[in-house]
Amino acid sequence: MIKQENRVPLYIQLKETLRTEITANRLKAGDKIPTEVELSDKYNISRVTVRKAITELVEEGYLVKKQGKGTFVQTQKIDRKILHLKSFTASCEAHGLKVTSKVIKKEIIDADTNEKERLMLEADDQLIHIQRVRFADDLPLMLENNFYSFKRYKFLLEENLDGSLYELLQEKYNINLNNAGETSLEIARASEKEAPLLDVTVGEPLFYLETVVSDGDIPVYLGKQYIIGERYKFSF
C-alpha cells in the first residue's frame, strides 16, 4: 500500500511494493508487470514516480525491460564457469531448471579452411551442423550451433538429439567431452536469423561463445553458441 502522507518518498514505496511482490513470488520470473500508465492509475502517483521506481529495480536486477514488449520480472541467471567444461544441461540442472531442446537443423555442409584446421578434418571430410534452441524452464536461452566431422560422427544423423549430447556421446559411444580448447566470448546482437528463434527483438544483446571441445586430444565439435545475456552469466 502506498500512502501519500508517508514521509518515505513515493517512488521508494512503489519500489518496495513491487520488490515484495517479486520476492514473495506473487510476481514470478518472466511475468510482465503493469505498464507505467497502469501503475500510475492504480496507485494514484505520477508516471515520473513510477519510472524512477522501475529504473532502480532494473538496475538492481529485479526487472528487465524488453524493447517493444514491456517490463518483465528478471529470471534467474545461470552461472557457468568458463574455465571449466560443463554441459548446458548440467549447468541448468545445477540451478534446478528443467532443460528441453528443439532441433532446428541437422545437415551436412562443406567445411572452410579454418574449420578443417580446428577440427583436424581430412581433406575430403564434411561437417554435420546441428542447430538447436535450448530451453530452461520452457524459456529459450541458447541457440546452439555445433559442427562435427561427418566421417567420425555421422551416427549423430540417426540419433534423437532432444536431450544432452554430452550424455549421449559419453554413455552410448564412450566419447568424453573433457577438454575445451581456445575459447572466445564476445557480445553480439541478435540478427533477423537468431531473434525469432530465441524470441527476442532484433538487436537484443547476446553472448557469443565459440570453442572447440575435445575428447583428450581429439576434437569432437566446434561450438558457436548465441546465449541470451539477461539469463546467463559467466564466471572466470
- Residue pLDDT, tens place only, 145-188: 999 999 999 999 999 998 889 889 999 999 988 777 777 888 88
pLDDT at 87: 65
Residues 150 and 128 sit within 8 Å (Cβ to Cβ): yes
| Residue 146, strand partner residues | 130, 223
Residues 27 and 73 sit within 8 Å (Cβ to Cβ): yes
3-state secondary structure of 145: strand
Residues 183 and 222 sit within 8 Å (Cβ to Cβ): no
- Residue pLDDT, tens place only, 51-84: 999 998 888 778 888 888 899 888 765 555 444 4
- Give pTM, 2 decimals: 0.66
- Residue pLDDT, tens place only, 20-43: 888 788 888 888 999 999 999 999
pLDDT band at 193; cut points 50, 70, 90: very high
Question: H-helix or E-strand containing 132?
Answer: strand 127-136
Residues 33 and 72 sit within 8 Å (Cβ to Cβ): yes
pLDDT at 233: 59
Query: Grid coordinates in use for 52?
Result: 524512477
Query: Grid coordinates in use for 144?
Result: 546452439
Kindly state the average pLDDT of the residues 203-232. Answer: 86
Does the CA dihedral 114-117-121-124 come out positive or negative? positive
Lowest mean per-residue pLDDT among 4-18, 188-202, 212-226: 4-18
Phi (first) and psi of residue 33, to 5 degrees: -90, 165
CA distance 136 to 82: 19
- Return the DSSP state at 76: P
pLDDT at 88: 72
pLDDT band at 3; cut points 50, 70, 90: confident
Kindly state the average pLDDT of the residues 187-206. Answer: 88
**Residue 160 CB neighbour total at 10 angstroms:** 7
- Residue pLDDT, tens place only, 84-141: 445 677 777 776 778 889 999 999 999 999 999 999 999 999 999 999 999 888 888 8
Pairing state of beta strands 218-228 and 205-215?
antiparallel
